[in-house]
Amino acid sequence: MASVDAVPNGTNGGANGSGNSSAEWTPSSWRSKPIKQFPEYPDLKALKKATGELDHLPPIVHPYEINKLKENLKEVAQGKAFLLQGGDCAELFSYCRQDAIESKLKLLLQMSLVLIRGTNRKVVRIGRMAGQYAKPRSSPFETVNGQQVPSFRGDILNGFELEDRALDPQRLVKAYNYSAATLNYIRAAISSGIADLHRPLNWELGHVKDSELKAKYSETVKFLQESLRFMRTIGADKSSQLGTVDVFTSHEGLLLEYEESLTRLLENPVYAAEGQTSRREYYDTSAHFIWIGDRTRQIDHAHVEFFRGIANPIGIKVGPTTPVSDLLELLRTLNPDREVGKITLITRYGAAKVRELLPAHIRAVEGSEYRGCVIWQCDPMHGNTRSTGSGIKTRRFDDIFTELQETLKVHKEEGSYLGGMHLELTGDAVTECMGGSQGLDEEDLSTNYTSFCDPRLNEKQALEMAFLVADHYIQ
């Protein structure tokens, strides 16, 4: 999986057989390319049955919504809005529950209020939700209790329990159903007022030790509460504009069997509404936004081939292993028309490397024909993962914030705009990342460590991070 590039064997047929990226694109043209992280399903008949079922199920998201997100992201690229993206590292099917969905939605809303105040801009919210079920792994096998077993690759591929580690194609259909159920509840909760600004929100951060930070935070919370009270008094909170918000969905577009089945040639509603000649485009209807992970962004490989044909806005993870020269080639392949806001570059170097590596990436893009075209988003999580002495995977709050701070500074120096942040977080009181105002340390990690993949910021740490970033924009 890590070193060998498989060539997919075309269960749906239709591979174009060409190694040339300018060759005709189809939802299945990725099948003719080498691919990383490819699952070798042993039973191809069962795989075909599952993708055949998916082929006939309705889109999970609508092109109208995808276009709406694109309009919002254009504003982010232009420096007029801020993009907040967050959610679990690996979403499990069992997270499809009212309380888990609500707590994440509320947290994203709360963080966005803090960011609106701080950045003085509109905030676009995208959850890593309703489909974040496939995980890239560094090795196809791992050792558990002295036994070699297939690695857990996310609920869409196999199960975490040792007896469920075999690849099961029916999980593709389950993933569709859990995505649809999660998004259904997100939509229902939002349209029923979960995001109403007059709902009481819990702004407690826990015990904030730093008195200056505490004072600033209290001031922001007071400001937000007074604003909300004022809007309630004048009735502005009842206007449809303020009573509801948009939350879009996203996941890593890793499992192309799944993405291909949900990619449909559909009418672009913008052209239809403007009475122009109708225009049909390929929309990946599994989510509003999908991204290419750090391990699958090779230019001549399958993932880039798939992503270059879809109309959705897309992300590309960019890190220490991204050669400067690859960046422009990726942009030219994935966004030849230079649509503003189409591509979000999600940078993740680690606190110790960002200052050294980010400037060259910014200069390559902003010094080219793509100037002003991309969204720069900071993922301060994936370059800052470490293991404790006893082998627990964790991240330090300070490293996460340092990478954000450094990223903000570098963009300021380079004259570019840091348009967003991408966080792994949960609305629950987990103890997976160390630090923050609660001062979680190594001993606290075992209290409530529930992640099956990377460590997430808990609700208080995530809110505090939003506050610290907002404060940075004010200065």
Residues forming the site for Mn ion (CB under 5 A): 89, 454
CA distance 15 to 197: 50
Three-state DSSP class for residue 466:
helix
Question: Which residue in the block uniquely carries the two structure tokens 């509460």?
Answer: 225
CA distance 395 to 348: 14
The stretch among 222-230, 292-300, 429-437, 459-467 that binds ligand PEP (CB under 6 A) is 292-300
Between the two ends of the chain, the Cα-to-Cα distance in Å is 46
- DSSP structural state of residue 195: T
Instruction: Work out whether 288 is an interface residue with ligand PEP (CB under 6 A).
Output: no
Residue 293's binding partner among ligand PEP, Mn ion, none (Cβ under 5 to 8 angstroms by kind) is ligand PEP
The stretch among 42-50, 146-154, 289-297, 360-368 that binds ligand PEP (CB under 6 A) is 289-297
Whether the Cβ atoms of residue 88 and residue 450 lie closer than 8 Å to each other: no
Least Å from the CB of residue 288 to ligand PEP: 17
Q: How far is CA 323 from CA 213, 319, 364, in A?
A: 38, 9, 10
Residue 206's binding partner among ligand PEP, Mn ion, none (Cβ under 5 to 8 angstroms by kind) is none
Residue 136's binding partner among Mn ion, ligand PEP, none (Cβ under 5 to 8 angstroms by kind) is ligand PEP
Residue of this chain nearest to Mn ion (CB atom) = 89
Residue 294's binding partner among ligand PEP, Mn ion, none (Cβ under 5 to 8 angstroms by kind) is ligand PEP
- Selected from 382, 395, 411, 456, the binder of ligand PEP by CB under 6 A is 382
Nearer to Mn ion, 33 or 396 (CB): 396
Least Å from the CB of residue 132 to Mn ion: 9
Residue 403's binding partner among Mn ion, ligand PEP, none (Cβ under 5 to 8 angstroms by kind) is none
Instruction: Work out whether 136 is an interface residue with ligand PEP (CB under 6 A).
Output: yes
The binding track of 319-348 with respect to ligand PEP, each residue x by CB under 6 A or -, is -----------------------------x
Instruction: Work out whether 317 is an interface residue with ligand PEP (CB under 6 A).
Output: yes
Instruction: Work out whether 293 is an interface residue with ligand PEP (CB under 6 A).
Output: yes
Q: Is residue 454 marked as binding?
A: yes
Q: Which long-range contacts (CB under 8 A, 24 or more apart) does 64-71 make?
A: 64/269, 65/248, 65/288, 66/283, 66/285, 66/288, 66/311, 66/312, 66/313, 67/268, 67/269, 67/270, 68/246, 69/124, 69/126, 69/246, 69/248, 69/288, 69/289, 69/313, 70/313, 70/339, 70/341, 70/342
Using CB under 6 A as the criterion, which residues of the chain lie in contact with ligand PEP when the complex forms? 89, 136, 252, 293-295, 317, 348, 382, 454
